[in-house]
Chains A and B, each alone.
Chain A
Amino acid sequence: MNESIYILNILLPVLYLTVLIVYGYDFLNEKRFLYNSKRLFLFLTLLIHLIFLLLRTVEFDHPPITTKFEIFSVLAFAIGFSYFVLELLTDVRGTGAFIILFSLIFQTVSSFFIEHNYIVPEVLRNRLLGLHVISALLGYSGITISAVYGLLFIQLYRNLKENKFGIIFNRLPSLEVLEKLSFKSAVIGFVLLTIAITIGIIWLPQAFPNFSYFDPKLVSTAFVWIIYGAGISAKFLTNWYGKKVIIFSLGGFVAAMVSLVLTTFLSSTFHSFY
């Protein structure tokens, strides 16, 4: 089984790259034969990724959420899967390349650095941890997708204002659709992040004796949560449209990524389990 895990670990970035190329090629060339088949490529990649995650769970006797590179792989899957569901629900097919790019980045980093022999500390075998991590990862997928649609909205908005009727104009859905997709993804991401934070606040003080509410990870996550909360409230309360809401989404995403990088690689935090 170990051998299968190694092979799939190498194969996954290649598969995501293939999906990215197929989606990118279709976006640039609008080839009819890829219109339906690209979705099949993505489905097969996600299926193989799921098998990989299940094999790891069985082989190493823990869900793959206990090291940062395991988490990166789950995040790559969550982003790809969220996009797949979104594409099925909305039938907006022209934006896949921009989102799959993030799956490719996270999976490539994961595949390079993931460890295959790791002893899991007892504290990480808690069920609440599973819920905490999964809701956080899905939340991050939501805000990533929201940011991508936000960027596409701004690009199309500019193109329309400047009378540029090129590939962006031809291939992207309408501004209204992009705005809705960005906002809905942000709302889903925000709700899931709220769940993750709530579980974290309940479970972390019990699990870690050195827990602190002023930990950099907690502070930065709260900051991200406040940005999204403010943007979503403003949209609901004042009926904001377009760029104003999108700026909150993009700002929140940048803050989330900076927080992820800083707390994972640079600062010292109790929130580092590995």
Chain B
Amino acid sequence: MNIFGITINHRTAPIELREALYLSKNETIDLINKLKSDLFTEGFVLSTCNRTEVFGFPQKNLLDYNQLIKILLDFKKVNGLTADNFEKFFSCGAVRHIFSVASGIDSMITGDSQVLAQTKEAFEISEDLNFAGTIMRRIFDFAVKAGKRAIKETAIGEGAVTVSYAAVQVIEKIFSSLEKKSALVIGAGETGEIAAANLKDKGVGKLAISNRTLSKAEALAEKVHGEIVPFQFLKEHIHNFDIILSATSAEGLILNFDDIQKMMRMRKNTPVVLMDIAVPRDIDPEVKKIENVFYHDMDSLKIIVDKNIQKRKNEIPQVKKIIMEELINFFSWYNTLEIVPAIKSLREFFEEIRIDELNKIKHKICEEDFIKLEDMTRRMMGRLLHNPTIKLRELAETGTNIQEVATRSAILKELFNLNNFDNNNNIQNGKS
């Protein structure tokens, strides 16, 4: 199989180059049109901020990686990007790589949950642009299947692997449900925004934002349908919240030990979670000594993230096993493509001989005998060809060695001179 392609990812290029090469949906469509006219008969383009993949079947039997890289770099000019920043794949290796991408083990964050959806989307664009033929569609199907199986059958996608999600994981170990809880996010920067969105997604009952610059707090509060706590009155309101997540860029502490102690008295010692994901820290870490105060900072959350990443990495062998199974399934199907025309030719060849011989005696026997003879010869041909047909199919479906299938197919064609038979048939069909 002559599928080939290139990829740029976290192993081959720094984030600036990967981001610079990112293709929007419209750009992807334009690139596919270019590839269709210049290089590939069918293929696909997957582009995210972390990776760009271009794969396809060449129009001519020539695997020109340089031409592919040139098309891509001419299309999206990125300073500093060279051919060395691309990994190259061919045939079985290319299919295996596509399966690895779809199942998340090739991602920078092992088990990335978004990559399967992104792969599906890339496949859909190919389909829409008639850039996906029979083989490419099958590769899509098996890649998606491998990705789904990886998620379902292994723990490759389990556990929080970002600090924001780790914070939510800890909160869920303290409170059974967030629906009746109230949360305050201090800081309306990027981290604060992600944290607020995560809390909102988890269904927190009440969400409030506090920020030194009021307009920023208002903007974020509007986004997450939250309330605003004026920053200057922060300490007077904190006792109203079960979860306080602080992510400001302040130089000093925003909440000290006495503030939290006072807050706990006002809360009648009911539990509170303090997530300090700011660097430098916003809350005095000594507060963790207060009963029912669950204080966590970046360092402690990083412990969870590192553990979960390691856990996911431990699942890679299991995912590779799934990928191998789906590779075998794919190539079992693919190998039948080689043998099916040979079987068809063989059966047509025998059928033609049968009809030819029947025609020779058609007028020498009565119609009743002719029908019996026609029936008998059909059964005879069926029995004669049954075993070779089954054996050839089995060989194609169980073997992964395409060369073996091609050899058997060639022997068969040579023994019965099927190539000439096919050519003659084609000429006759062309004439008619």
Contact = CB atoms under 8 A, between A and B. Distances in A.
A163 B300 contact: yes
Contacts of B291: 242-243
Contacts of A180: 176
Contact of B174 (A163, A165, A176, A243): A176
A239 B176 contact: no
Nearest to B153: A32
Given A160-B294, A163-B300, A241 B176 contact: no
Contacts of B176: 173-174, 176-177, 180
B303 A165 contact: yes
A92 B291 CA distance: 26
Interface residues of B, number: 20
Given A165-B303, A165-B304, A165-B307, A242 B292 contact: yes
Q: Which of the listed residues B174, B176, B291, B303 has the most CB atoms from chain A within 10 Å of its own CB? A: B176
A174 B294 CA distance: 13
Interface in A65-123: none
B135 interface: no
Nearest to B159: A170
B268 interface: yes
B173 A174 contact: yes
A136 interface: no
Contacts of B304: 165
Q: Which of the listed residues A163, A173, A239, A242 has the most CB atoms from chain B within 10 Å of its own CB? A: A163
A157 B108 CA distance: 34
B292 A241 contact: yes
Contacts of A175: 173-175, 271
Interface in B257-299: 268-271, 288, 291-292, 294, 296, 299
A155 to B, nearest CB: 12
B328 interface: no
B288 A169 contact: no
Interface of B: 170, 172-176, 268-271, 288, 291-292, 294, 296, 299-300, 303-304, 307
Given A160-B173, A160-B174, A165-B307, 6 more contacts: A163-B303, A174-B175, A175-B175, A176-B175, A239-B270, A241-B269
Question: Which 7 A-B pairs rank lowest in CB-CB distance, beginning with the nearest?
Answer: A163-B300, A176-B176, A177-B176, A174-B176, A165-B304, A175-B174, A176-B175
